[in-house]
Homo-oligomer: A and B are copies of this chain.
Amino acid sequence: MPPCRIAVIGLGEIGLNRHLPVIAAHPGFEIVASAKRHPVATAIGGVQYRDYREMLASEPAIEAVAICTPPDVRGRIALDVIAAGKHVLLEKPPFSTLGAFRQVRLAAERAGVTLLGGWHSQFNLAVERARDFLADQQVASLEMVWNEDVAVYHPDQEWIWQAGGFGVFDAGVNGISILTRILPDPLVVRAATLRIPDGAQTPIAVEIDFAGLREEDRLHAGMDWRTPTAERTIAIVTRSGHHLRMPNSGRRLEIDGTVLVDEANLEYPHIYDRFAELIAGGKSQLDEWPLVVVADAYLIGRTLPADAQGVPGVRTGG
């Protein structure tokens, strides 16, 4: 089969450094064009357009599009791409509202095109192995820690503090997307606290308690952007006494002390493998559950103030 002719919309950090090199190296895809409002220098982006609508109109050979813009405009762009009859791959989180999932899914079904929501952390081998192991288990305890120093990882992103910018959830939803993939039961938020810096609209630290099957089960997730050392780890104890540990953003899997998977970062190649499979099979994969968990934390979470002093991108009040 000839490679699928693809275009990329949005060439920020992720589009430029994650998607383009993976597409260039993937036998199943061939880059045709890209769109970016402010032109950017790259030798592997195909014909570059400033307006994605012009790109869609000028390049009828395009069969699929990867949308790597910020989430708030992805819904609108996805509808235009689907209306042009192209398959769609979406960066994470696919959309910033749950309504957009429904609207875009419906449009893709009607148009008969493939949709893939690329929650990249779900595409680790360790995640699939953990999912298989947990399929017939019950979870007695869960601890997710997803901590970073925001000054190191998000120094110039003012948008993360604005309404719809997700704050610490922008990183933490990667861990949550692993949980919704590997756990055998729905992940139901029971209580949450969201610490929102003065002058920001989104949280810098979040704690979530999930409902377990029994009262005594303890399922907890903590995300904090005020920690000097980055840690992105999931630890699970099953009722039958097995201990799972997934450090390194879920790319390593230890069960009862034995290392079963310890992979380099192959998330994006795996995403494109899956995209090719889905297109060939005429199928779609679009999981809204990571965003449901975030939404539930907002719905019933208690908001508390946080000190904004020294947080980059937040304008502190007088």
Q: Which residues of A contact B (CB under 8 A)?
A: 72, 75-76, 96-100, 102-103, 106, 163-164, 185-189, 201, 211, 291-296, 298-303
Copies assembled:
2
- Smallest Cβ-Cβ distance to A187: which chain B residue: B99
Residues of B close to A296: CB separation below 8 A: 97-99, 295
Residues of B close to A303: CB separation below 8 A: 163, 201
**B292 contacts A99, CB within 8 Å?**
yes
**A188 contacts B298, CB within 8 Å?**
no
Say how far A14's CB is from chain B's closest CB, in angstroms: 20
Closest 10 A-B residue pairs measured CB to CB? Answer: A99-B188, A164-B300, A295-B295, A298-B298, A97-B296, A163-B302, A102-B186, A103-B186, A98-B292, A103-B188
Q: CB within 8 A of A298: which of B103, B189, B292, B299? A: B299
Bound CA–CA A298/B96 (angstroms): 11
**B300 contacts A188, CB within 8 Å?**
no
Bound CA–CA A162/B76 (angstroms): 35
Bound CA–CA A185/B107 (angstroms): 11
Known: A99-B188, A295-B295, A295-B298. 10 other contacts (CB 8 A): A97-B300, A99-B211, A99-B292, A99-B296, A103-B185, A103-B211, A106-B186, A163-B301, A163-B303, A164-B300
Interface pairs (12), CB distance under 8 Å: A97-B188, A97-B300, A99-B186, A99-B188, A100-B188, A102-B188, A103-B186, A163-B302, A163-B303, A291-B299, A292-B295, A298-B299
Bound CA–CA A169/B296 (angstroms): 15
Say how far A197's CB is from chain B's closest CB, in angstroms: 13
Residues of B close to A201: CB separation below 8 A: 302-303
Say how far A136's CB is from chain B's closest CB, in angstroms: 15
